[in-house]
Amino acid sequence: MADKILKKAGLGALIESVTGKGGRFVAPTTDSRQVVFKKVKSAEEVATDYILARNSFKEFLFPQTEVVAEFTMSKDSVDMKGVEVYAPQTVVFGARPCEAASLAGMRALFTWDFIDEFYTKREENTVVVTVACTKGDDACFCTTVNLSPESTEGTDVYLREAADSYIVQAVTEKGKKFVETHAAVFSEGNAKAEPLFMPEKIANIDIAKVSARLKDKTHYDDKVWARLTSKCIGCGACTFVCPTCRCFDIVDEGTAFEGERRKNWDSCQYDTFTLHASGHNPREHQHQRWRNRFMCKFHFYPEKFSSKGCVGCGRCIRVCPVRLDITEVMEEFSK
């Protein structure tokens, strides 16, 4: 049976087809000496030689900063005005299977006790086109968290790389519709897929054990946290590049008379994150903040939403200025 094929040379046509209909096309591209997800206009901009983009594509669903309301103030009244959700048709091309799997957790959070339309509308209008990994590095650990380059969780269209083309598999209804809409750029044919890069499963880690140990609260004040993580400098870079971190802060910016209410990325690694107005800080030390992030990934998310808190993309390991490796902590908690 013939496969559905997207010629690599036809990527430009796909981009035109998407942008021609008014959509935005997001793909890995080289900017400031590193590969990052950005809006692109042509195939020439799209990077092909990369393991993972430095940032995750979450910023196209949940931007770093976003106006959620506008206000004007006068002597005796405050007028609030809503803003329209910016939710263009979006294609995220070249995501990896690990990061695509982060969407379930994102959605669970933003639809939990309140439907956050700023997220949901954008996600509904986004098609995630995953390109399975043909290479990786020593920070990759998807197989350790029970994912792999073959996973299609969160993926709408799954691509396997071949010599001069991609073999296309539409995974979801949204994906099928996407392939139909842009049918002209796809063809039928046969291609031989390149072998996938399978990160070796880290031998001493057992995710089920990690979660079970975190559930038992006796670990909470264990010295192990300080021992493993007191080198953390609290820069929060891990949370900014993480595809599943989604904490935010609401601020009002403007003058005394008018302004905007903005939703900005925040990070549980900051000392002010849990600082109370009274001056008390329940997570006073950095290792406590680190413990929170780890628990969020391996306890809160699996427990509350039955979704993955960590997808094993390894971004946090690559970006950490002190090389604090989350898998080393996972190993400790598998004992």
Residues that bind other proteins (CB under 8 A): 31-34, 36, 54-55, 64-65, 138, 226, 230-231, 233-237, 239-241, 249, 251, 253, 262, 264-265, 267, 270, 272, 285-287, 318-319, 321-325, 327-328, 331
User: Cβ closer to other proteins: 159 or 329?
Assistant: 329
Decide if 311 contacts 101 (C-beta within 8 A): yes
Q: Where are the alpha helices (DSSP H) in the chain?
A: 11-20, 97-100, 103-110, 117-124, 173-181, 207-215, 224-229, 237-241, 286-295, 301-305, 315-319, 326-332
User: Cβ closer to other proteins: 160 or 318?
Assistant: 318
Smallest gap, in angstroms, from Cβ of residue 55 to other proteins?
8
Distance CA 89, CA 12 (A): 18
Distance CA 258, CA 238 (A): 34
CB count in 10 Å sphere of residue 203: 9
Q: What's the token pair of residue 312?
A: 């094993």
User: Cβ closer to other proteins: 264 or 306?
Assistant: 264
Q: How close are the terminal C-alpha atoms of the chain, in Å?
A: 48
Residue type for 166, please?
Y
User: Cβ closer to other proteins: 160 or 291?
Assistant: 291
Smallest gap, in angstroms, from Cβ of residue 212 to other proteins?
22
Smallest gap, in angstroms, from Cβ of residue 226 to other proteins?
6
Smallest gap, in angstroms, from Cβ of residue 25 to other proteins?
20
User: Cβ closer to other proteins: 162 or 310?
Assistant: 310
User: Cβ closer to other proteins: 12 or 234?
Assistant: 234
Smallest gap, in angstroms, from Cβ of residue 275 to other proteins?
9
Smallest gap, in angstroms, from Cβ of residue 320 to other proteins?
9
User: Cβ closer to other proteins: 117 or 325?
Assistant: 325
Q: What's the token pair of residue 49?
A: 């030689």
Distance CA 317, CA 81 (A): 42
| Residues ≥6 apart with Cβ < 8 Å to 76 | none
- Which residue in 139, 98, 51 sits closest to 318, CA to CA? 139
Smallest gap, in angstroms, from Cβ of residue 121 to other proteins?
21
Q: Quick one: which H or E segment has residue 259? A: strand 258-265
